[in-house]
Amino acid sequence: MSYYFTIIGTRDNPLFEHEFGTSKAGGDGIARFRDEARHMNQFIVHSSLDIVEEVQWGNNGLAQTEEAVRQFMTDVYEAWIKCIMNPFYVVNAPVTSPVFRGRVAAAAKKYL
């Protein structure tokens, strides 16, 4: 299975993007998106954010998310906080840090 992870800024611009495949069940960790469908990833992400915002303001009766996704997001959140706490980081600027990219990839390999 292939995954597309992105962090969207307050201006709806992508601050960080990373594609990866599953490392579980014999996966090699490489994303396998078709070239003609790759451009749809950002559209899908923004559509998903619209759904998340609707749920955020709705009721809390939804089922809990999978534990692996929660742990992945927790690890990425910790790395993100460390990244944006850097005094040289410009707010809403794309993140190009290879260290941050490595931490996201490591969390994906560990949990997804």
Q: Which architecture does CATH list for 2-111?
A: 2-Layer Sandwich (3.30)
pLDDT of residue 105 exceeding 70: yes
pLDDT of residue 11 exceeding 90: no
Q: How confident is the model at residue 34 (pLDDT cuts 50, 70, 90)?
A: low
Closest CA to 68 of 99, 9, 23, 15: 23
* pLDDT at residue 58 in the model: 67
Q: What is the mean pLDDT of residues 13-28?
A: 74
* pLDDT at residue 106 in the model: 93
Q: What is the mean pLDDT of residues 90-110?
A: 91
- What does the domain layout of the chain look like in residue ranges? 2-111
Residue-averaged pLDDT of the chain: 79
pLDDT digits (tens, 9 = 90+) for 41-75: 777 777 777 777 776 676 554 444 567 888 888 99
* pLDDT at residue 24 in the model: 62
Label residues 75-108 b or e (16+ Cβ within 10 Å = b).
bbeebbeebeeeeeeeeeeebeeeebeebbeebb
pLDDT of residue 32 exceeding 70: no
Q: Could you tell me the pTM of the whole model?
A: 0.58
pLDDT of residue 98 exceeding 50: yes
